[in-house]
Amino acid sequence: MANLTELSRKEDSVILLELLEPFKELLTDDEITEIAVNRPGQIYFEKRGRWIKKDAPELTFKTLKQIGVAAAVFSGANQEYSTSSPILSAVLPGGERAQFVLPPACQEGTISVTIRKPSFQVRSLDDYAHSGFFDCVRPLNSVNEEDLKLWELYSRIHDAENGVQKKRNFIEACVKARKTLVIAGETGSGKTTFMKALMQSIPFEERIITIEDVPELVYGLPNHDNKVCLFYASEVKTGSTVKPNDLMRSCLRMKPDRILLAELRGSETYDFLNVCLSGHGGSITSCHAGSCKGVFEYLTLKVQQSEEAKTMTPERINTLLHLVIDVVIHVHNSRDKGRHITEIWFNDKYKPNSPKGLNLLGEAR
């Protein structure tokens, strides 16, 4: 005979499944791997590696919030899901993992829901071989063709002829190639504005998540529809206890193609490092530093502010930073020249025939 706990869980499951009815067709399609709601009235789903948009007028703000509340109850982890605790990780009745984000951690009037479906497919090694899975393996520490082209562009940015255009083309190519970029400079040097210009080069089909304390980056993506704009508490924004660290960790469950973090200024730098090390390329962020080389010293200090990094040596942190940061651009604002770029650093792990191979311990130059 079922006990009261089992009966209660069955009831919670029935309630949640009823609320999930608008997702039923997508949840039962074996070719769909991810489902994302960025705002009421529409759904994105990933099928065969491509994001597809679907209108869903029945998914109102109220309904989406009810789904989150029901998921919190069903998961049975005593998780609160409200404006004071707006981030929820839950498991749905079918075993799907779901991530929910409410305002004030996202834009007012929106709710972010991301559902990752479990894979029940079983394939043999022969299946992988016949599908070409092993065809693109290259030697360790080798540089691929795309990176060789980037290094060629970089080697010519100081040419006297068309130097300005070559610098512009190199930076744009790095964004399109999903390199991790850090924009550095002092307060008022134009870091955020330049970041928004770089964001225009991100392909429209990519799913983007921005993280900031006040709305700025959100205005740099007018033509990118598949996006979620997350916000953490700041000195000028009250009513929220969400930290940038919380949002960085939440991003890992939200299937981003890119994570754009407005600024690295504290212990969240460790989480940014962790996200980049987990394979999420193409990030763009900023920090305060007086030069490209100074970026690595500054970020090393910020990583050390995290409790998780207390036992890491500065040398180890510097090694990891060089592993994940591909490009550093230093900007400055002077009275005579206005806002301008002073330095561009490209990680020499991409340098062809480099005796160092992956230059994990090299200095920024």
Tell me: the pLDDT tens digits for 92-147? 999 999 999 999 999 999 999 999 998 888 899 999 999 999 999 988 878 888 99
Beta-ladder partners of 116: 34, 97
What are the domain boundaries of the chain? 4-116, 145-350
Q: Give the per-residue pLDDT at 303.
A: 97
CATH topology of domain 4-116: Beta-Lactamase (3.30.450)
Q: What are 293-327's pLDDT values in tens digits? A: 999 999 999 999 999 999 999 999 999 999 999 99
Question: Under a CB-based contact definition with an 8 Å cutoff, are residues 359 and 322 in contact?
Answer: yes
pTM (2 d.p.): 0.89
Q: What are phi and psi of 121, to 5 degrees?
A: -75, 140
Would 4-116 and 145-350 be classified into the same CATH topology? no
Cβ contacts of 264 within 8 Å, gap of 6 or more: 182, 272, 285, 286, 287, 299, 302
DSSP assignment of 154-216 equals HTTTT-STTHHHHHHHHHHHHHHTT--EEEE--TTS-HHHHHHHHHTTS-TTS-EEEEESSSS
Is residue 210's pLDDT more than 60?
yes
Continuous segment of H or E residues that includes residue 112:
strand 112-116
Which superfamily is assigned to 145-350 in CATH? P-loop containing nucleotide triphosphate hydrolases (3.40.50.300)
The pair of three-digit structure tokens given for residue 123, joined into one six-digit string: 């394939």
